[in-house]
């Protein structure tokens, strides 16, 4: 029995989480294991009602679980997104989930906007550093609100933080039969922080002689992801660049509705959430694509030791795509819940 914390969050997070839970319930029957799923109502509603974002003691409480699944956070009634930052970034930082693992994998040829590309061309994973970089919110204002205002926003890179994400990328390559690790930085301009990335990468790469190692500037990566995506196997990069290139990666595989992600600290409770946001415009309409959330649930299962079930879910998604059981964002006519039902029916 594994214990899963479910935090649907806001907007379409609620609907896509419902389908992910449906698929998890189905797959545990088919594969004969048991998940105890406990729901938490953290999100905008609770924040507006009680002023609570991440409740007191939440991190200790969640540490007792095997994994956490989250939908999405964001609500127009909270314009500064305070609750979203508190909850999502609070969990990433508070649980020290230093790997943001985001696969970029095309599951149906028709989904990519790239001309003439097939499934084998778009199949790589991004290891995004998830606990430092520009996300530490270090900096300050001087003379705020005056014509002489100065705003400083720092990027924090620690030797330990940089090394552990690079090591994680190489370890993944070894374990998953990947041939190449590409480090993405901007060391031609960011001469201190990304110099550290360059030196650390070169050092770690030496420990993995069987894996090809190369580096790219992030602007070039943006271009190559479109022109020659087949060159990528494993990308490792900092928090901000990882944020940006994984939205581009999502587009390559059919849009944000298709993209899965895990916030991971190996050996510890980890958090799985689709890449997309709460899309308030579509909330409650039963039109959002639940595939990203369902693929995220599969990633979670793989992480807690149910690799076979995880593969079966991905295969069911591939089949659902092939038979056209899809939502409108990717050209189908199904509702959110119909896509969830179709994927469950394909899990035998």
Q: Which residues are catalytic?
A: 135, 186, 219, 243, 247
Cβ 345 to ligand IPM shortest distance, Å: 31
Q: Is the dihedral of CA 111, 117, 119, 121 positive or negative?
A: negative
Judged by CB under 6 A, the chain residues 77 through 116 that form the site for ligand IPM are: 84, 88
Applying CB under 5 A, does 243 fall inside the site for Mn ion? yes
- Residue 269 Cα distances to 65, 133, 266, 346, angstroms: 6, 22, 8, 29
H helices, E strands: number in the chain: 12, 12
Among residues 81, 80, 88, which one has the least CA distance to residue 54? Answer: 88
DSSP SS3 for 313: helix
Q: Which does 111 bind (CB under 5 to 8 A by kind): ligand IPM, Mn ion, none?
A: none
Q: Among 244, 168, 248, 176, which residue's Cα sits nearest to residue 201? A: 168
What is the C-alpha to C-alpha distance for residues 21 and 296, in angstroms, rounded to an integer? Answer: 11
Q: Encoding tokens for residue 347?
A: 């899990």
Nearer to Mn ion among residue 261 and residue 326 (C-beta):
261
Rule CB under 5 A: which of 53-72 touch Mn ion?
none
Q: What angle do CA 135, 151, 275 make, to 5 degrees?
A: 25
Q: Which one, 35 or 275, has the nearer CB to ligand IPM?
A: 275
Our finding on whether 338 is near ligand IPM (CB under 6 A) is no
Choose the contact partner of 126 out of ligand IPM, Mn ion, none; CB within 5 to 8 A by kind.
none
- Nearer Cβ to ligand IPM, position 243 or 341? 243
Positions of E strands within 29-162: 35-39, 67-72, 99-105, 123-129, 133-142, 150-156
Q: Which two tokens stand for residue 92?
A: 């990433």
Minimal distance, residue 240 CB to ligand IPM, in Å:
8
CB of 123 to Mn ion, least distance (A): 21
- Cβ of residue 187: shortest distance to ligand IPM, in angstroms? 22
**Using rule CB under 6 A, residue 155 touches ligand IPM:** no
Interface size with Mn ion, residues (CB under 5 A):
1
Min separation Cβ 191 and Mn ion, Å: 26
Tokens of 237: 């990069």
Tell me: does residue 243 bind ligand IPM (CB under 6 A): yes
Q: Is 341 in the site for ligand IPM (CB under 6 A)?
A: no
Shortest gap between Cβ of 299 and ligand IPM (angstroms)? Answer: 14
Q: Judged by CB, which is closer to ligand IPM: 130, or 336?
A: 130
Tokens 């905008």, residue?
44
| Size of site (CB under 6 A) for ligand IPM | 4
259 makes contact, choosing from ligand IPM, Mn ion, none, with CB < 5 to 8 Å by partner type, with none
Tokens of 80: 């500064």
Looking at the Cβ atoms of 103 and 332, the one nearer to ligand IPM is: 103
Pick what 233 binds: ligand IPM, Mn ion, none; C-beta below 5 to 8 Å, kind-dependent: none
CA distance 117 to 120: 8
Residue written as token pair 């609070």: 90
Residue 78 or 88 with smaller CB distance to ligand IPM: 88
CB 72 within 8 A of CB 7: no
Q: List the one residue out of 110, 209, 127, 138 whose CA is nearest residue 164.
A: 127
Q: Which is nearer to Mn ion, 10 or 243 (CB)?
A: 243
Near ligand IPM in 262-321, by CB under 6 A: 275
**Residue 134 contacts residue 155 (beta carbons within 8 Å):** yes
In sign, the C-alpha dihedral spanning 302, 306, 307, 311 is negative
- Binding positions for ligand IPM, rule: CB under 6 A: 84, 88, 243, 275
Residues that bind Mn ion (CB under 5 A): 243
């Amino acid at each position: 029995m594994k214990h899963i914390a479910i935090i649907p969050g806001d907007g379409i997070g609620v609907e896509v989480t419902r389908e992910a839970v449906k698929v998890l319930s189905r797959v545990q029957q088919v594969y004969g294991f048991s998940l105890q799923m406990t729901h938490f109502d953290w999100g905008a509603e609770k924040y507006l009602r009680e002023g609570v974002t991440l409740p007191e003691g939440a991190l200790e409480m969640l540490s007792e679980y095997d994994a956490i699944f989250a939908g999405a956070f964001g609500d127009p009634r909270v314009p500064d997104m305070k609750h979203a930052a508190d909850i999502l970034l609070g969990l990433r930082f508070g649980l020290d989930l230093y790997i943001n693992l985001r696969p970029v994998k095309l599951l149906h040829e028709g989904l990519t906007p790239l001309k003439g590309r097939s499934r084998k061309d778009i199949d790589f994973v991004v290891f995004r550093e998830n606990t430092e970089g520009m996300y530490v919110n270090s900096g300050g204002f001087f003379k705020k609100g005056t014509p002489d205002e100065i705003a400083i926003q720092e990027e924090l890179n620690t030797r330990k933080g940089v090394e552990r994400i690079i090591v994680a990328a190489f370890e993944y390559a070894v374990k998953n039969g990947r041939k190449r690790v590409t480090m993405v930085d901007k060391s031609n301009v960011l001469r201190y922080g990304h110099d550290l990335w360059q030196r650390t990468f070169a050092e770690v790469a030496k420990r993995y002689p069987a894996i090809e190692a190369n580096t790219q500037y992030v602007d070039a990566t943006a271009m190559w992801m479109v022109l020659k995506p087949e060159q990528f196997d494993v990308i490792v990069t900092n928090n901000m660049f990882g944020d940006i290139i994984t939205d581009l990666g999502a587009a390559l595989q059919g849009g944000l509705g298709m993209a899965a992600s895990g916030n991971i600290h190996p050996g510890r409770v980890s958090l799985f959430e689709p890449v997309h946001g709460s899309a308030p415009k579509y909330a409650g309409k039963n039109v959002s694509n639940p595939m990203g959330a369902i693929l995220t649930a599969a990633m979670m299962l793989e992480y807690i030791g149910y690799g076979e079930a995880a593969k079966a879910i991905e295969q069911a998604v591939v089949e659902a795509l092939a038979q056209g059981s899809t939502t409108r964002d990717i050209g189908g006519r199904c509702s959110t819940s119909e896509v969830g039902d179709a994927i469950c029916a394909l899990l035998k």
